[in-house]
Amino acid sequence: MPFVPNSLEARDVAGLVHPYTNLAKHAENGPLVIDRGEGIHVWDTDGKQYIEGVAGLWCASLGYGETELVKAATAQMEKLAFGHLFQSRSHGPAIELAEKLKSLAPCETARVFFVGDGSSANDTAIKLIWYYNNAIGRPEKKKIIGRLKAYHGVTVASASVTGLTHNHLDWDLPLKGFLHTDCPHHYREALPGESEDDFVDRIIGNLERLIHKVGPETVAAFFAEPIQGAGGLIVPPQNYFPRLQAVLKKHDILLVADEVITGFLRTGNYWGCQTVDMQPDMVTCAKALSSAYLPIGAVTIPSFMHEAMVEQSRKIGTFGHGNTYSGHPVCAAVALRTLQIYEERNLLEHVRGLIPRFQQRLAALASHPLVGEARLGAGLMGGVELVADKAAKTAFDPKLTVGMKALLACQEQGLMIRAVGDVAILCPPLIITEPQIDEMFDRLKAALDGLEL
């Protein structure tokens, strides 16, 4: 497509590399340039309005234009625009935010380490686990297990624990010592006629065999999203995590809950792990921690790990890890204000009140001729898997890029969705209202009805 010289489109194509984009197609088709946002809506540069059905990238939980967050950022920038935590320096916003997260964490938490995003949170968690096992004299206990279709980010280590082909293919990943086990998705992964219980028995059995094969004394940790997001919105069977945890406990393997998209009310509880009966040793989070207004993520650290870290750094002379922006004061101030707003506006009750309508509208799409499975997800996240043959669950040929076509059809209808393969995903700002939920699903249904394949 020829672009108007000097237009934003032309300048975009000339200047940017876009994440998770077919770069060749992008060079031909150009970008959709978004100009502004207000509440659950965004507008492109032609003035077309869209419902932001995925809260940006599962993150803008308070929607757009939240003046309280603008005020918090401005006030902190004016007072202390930058401060760091290296070599015992500190500042109020990081101290307060650490206290707040300790009080909210779903597992015993002695300390909090701040990073800039979800990938770095998982990367840091992996490094801390390695450091811990070295500190307590178990240098061989280092392997990390993730799951197929899991998404934990793009740094070398977080992409290694990720279980998606496109994050490994031609990236020389995963690194040695990263293993993958089954994805707990009954619809796609169960054998014909296999009940949920039998499915869980089988995949937990596979995990135990994997642990025995490599030696339990070499396995340090298991990473899991309570609900797998970027792998296609996958909720595990009810008894999956309790069964999994029993195996991990037996072999002294830590469980890390990646709450990067499920944290902060999304699933109808404060944390996703509370929704799926998961009891982690550590939590990583980001995104809705600041409602995505500024980049910040965090890792919670249990007492036993912190005590070992203290001793190890005494021995070495320092704790050799840290980012310039760990606990950045402006990001921390905005995150603190975000967490206060969740409480002040009783957003948890608001979300819980909306879940029945969201789930009902999602479930209604199950009867659509293109929908193989309505992924009810949990809380205000869900999706629909589009299939070529409903009864046989036959997927479309990936070359048809049906998910991408659905995304473009939704855009036509004024709705932003996320397409993961052929799964169309919704994860709207938590401030959405019931009439807006109806409007969002009306637009999705109109897009699916008009989809030309």
Sites for ligand PLP among residues 260-279 (CB under 6 A): 260-261
Residues 429/346, Cβ–Cβ less than 8 Å:
no
Structure tokens at 266: 């999304």
Q: Measuring CA to CA, how many Å separate 248 from each of 194, 197, 281?
A: 24, 19, 11
Number of C-alpha atoms within 13 angstroms, CB side, residue 359?
A: 12
Contacts with ligand PLP: how many residues (CB under 6 A)? 15
- Residue, CB closest to ligand PLP: 118
The pattern of x and - marking residues 95 through 134 that bind ligand PLP according to CB under 6 A reads: ----------------------xxx--x------------
Distance CA 310, CA 307 (A): 5
Stretch that binds ligand PLP, among 132-140, 147-155, 168-176, 183-191 (CB under 6 A): 147-155
Complex with ligand PLP: residue 125 or 406, whichever CB lies closer: 125
Residues 10/3, Cβ–Cβ less than 8 Å:
yes
Dihedral (Cα; 72, 73, 76, 82), 10-degree rounding: 150
Rg (CA), the chain: 22
Sites for ligand PLP among residues 48-67 (CB under 6 A): 57
- Supply the minimum distance, in Å, between the C-beta of residue 157 and ligand PLP: 12
Complex with ligand PLP: residue 227 or 336, whichever CB lies closer: 227
Complex with ligand PLP: residue 135 or 261, whichever CB lies closer: 261
The pattern of x and - marking residues 153 through 192 that bind ligand PLP according to CB under 6 A reads: x---------------------------------------
Complex with ligand PLP: residue 85 or 261, whichever CB lies closer: 261
Residues 247/73, Cβ–Cβ less than 8 Å:
no
Distance CA 139, CA 435 (A): 56
Handedness of CA 410, 415, 416, 420 (dihedral sign): negative
Does position 281 interact with ligand PLP (CB under 6 A)? The reply is no
- Residue in the structure block whose two tokens are 């072999």: 251
SS3 category, 418:
strand
Complex with ligand PLP: residue 63 or 118, whichever CB lies closer: 118
Complex with ligand PLP: residue 76 or 120, whichever CB lies closer: 120
Task: List interacting residues with ligand PLP (CB under 6 A).
Answer: 57, 117-119, 122, 151-153, 225, 229-230, 258, 260-261, 286
